[in-house]
Chain A
C-alpha cells in the first residue's frame, strides 16, 4: 500500500500570468457583450470635443481672486454643503441642495449686477452648477474660484472663523 507522504510542489511561476490573462479575456468578453446589447451604443472612437470641460464661467486663480476681494471687486458665494465655520469673510451661503431657500434668505443683500465669486470645496462642477442657477435668476457677473478655501488661504486670503450661520457677516 502506498504511503501517504507530503510532497512539496512549487507554485508555477506562469500561473498568475495565465490567471490574469484569463480574467482579462473574461472582462473583454463581458465588455464586448455589454457594448453589443446596450443601445444606444457608445461609439468605439470618441469625439474628444464632446468631452471638453466647459464650465461656462471664467475660472479665477486664488491669487487673482484675493486681489479682487481686497479691491472690493467681488462678493464671495459659498456653495459648500452644511454650515461652514470657516469661510471667506462676507460670503453668502448658496448651497446646491437648498439653493432656493438660501437665495430667498440673502436676496435683499444681493443685486443681479454684483460681481459674484462662487467657490466650493474644490469641485468646480458644483460651483458651476450654483453659478448656472444664479445666471438663471438674472445674475450676470459670475466667476468661479479655482481650488477650495485652502487655495484661497494659501494665496494669502483672509478666512472668517464663525458660527457657520447662513448669510452675510
Chain B
C-alpha cells in the first residue's frame, strides 16, 4: 500500500506513465477504429447484431445506433485521457457484453461473423475473438483500477488562506 493509500486507509496502486499511455492508446484506439464503419452504416450493424439472435425488436435499432457512438466516445476519452476511469468502466461493460454475446453464439453453434469492426468484418465468432476481447478487458481493467488515489499540491491545507 502506498503512503497515500495508508493515509486515506484505502488500497490503491499506480502504473507507470508509459504503460498508462500505451494501454489508453491500445484500448481506446481499438474502440475508436471499431466504431467508424458501424457509425456510417447502422443498418448493416443492426444486421450483425440480429445474427446473434439475442436482441429483441425494440432494442435492436437503438442498440445499433448507440453502441458505435459509445465505442467512439469511450475510446476517444481514453486516448485523450479525459474522464479516463469512467471511459475504462464503460469499455469494460461493453467488452463483458460482447464476450457474453460471442460465448452465447458459440454455445448455440451459430456460424456468424462477429461484426466487431464493421459490417464487412468476416471474422467468425470463436475462441480467438474471446481471447482478443479478454486482452482488451485486461487492459481496460488496469486503466479502471489504477490511480485510485492521486497526489495534489496545494499552497496550503487551509483553502481560506
Q: Which residues of B contact A17 (CB under 8 A)?
A: 86, 89
Chain B: which residue is nearest A126 at the CB level? B122
Chain B: which residue is nearest A30 at the CB level? B69
Q: Which residues of A contact B112 (CB under 8 A)?
A: 53, 124
Give A121 to B128 CA distance when docked, in angstroms.
14
Would you call B58 an interface residue if the criterion is a C-beta within 8 Å of the partner chain's C-beta atoms?
yes
Interface-central residue, A48, A51, A53, by most chain B CB under 10 Å: A51
Chain A: which residue is nearest B87 at the CB level? A23
Cβ contact within 8 Å between A16 and B150: no
In chain B, positions 100-137 with a C-beta closer than 8 Å to chain A are: 111-113, 122, 124, 126
Query: Given A4-B153, A147-B111, do A51 and B86 touch, yes or no (CB 8 Å)?
Result: no
Q: Which residues of B contact A35 (CB under 8 A)?
A: 42, 65
Would you call A37 an interface residue if the criterion is a C-beta within 8 Å of the partner chain's C-beta atoms?
no
* Interchain CB contact (< 8 A) of A34 among B62, B69, B147: B69
Cβ contact within 8 Å between A42 and B64: yes
Binds B, one of A6-14, A84-92, A100-108: A6-14
Q: Which residues of B contact A38 (CB under 8 A)?
A: 42
Q: Which residues of B contact A122 (CB under 8 A)?
A: 111, 124, 126
* Interchain CB contact (< 8 A) of B74 among A23, A46, A51: A23
Query: Given A31-B66, A146-B111, do A23 and B90 touch, yes or no (CB 8 Å)?
Result: yes
Cβ contact within 8 Å between B61 and A10: no
Cβ contact within 8 Å between A4 and B111: no
Give A35 to B86 CA distance when docked, in angstroms.
25
Interface string of B1-44 (1 = CB under 8 A from A): 00110011010100000000000000000000000000100110
10 contacts between A and B (CB under 8 A): A7-B152, A8-B4, A8-B7, A15-B86, A23-B87, A24-B70, A42-B43, A42-B46, A123-B122, A124-B112
8 closest Cβ pairs, A-B complex = A19-B86, A51-B50, A19-B83, A20-B86, A46-B60, A16-B85, A2-B156, A27-B70
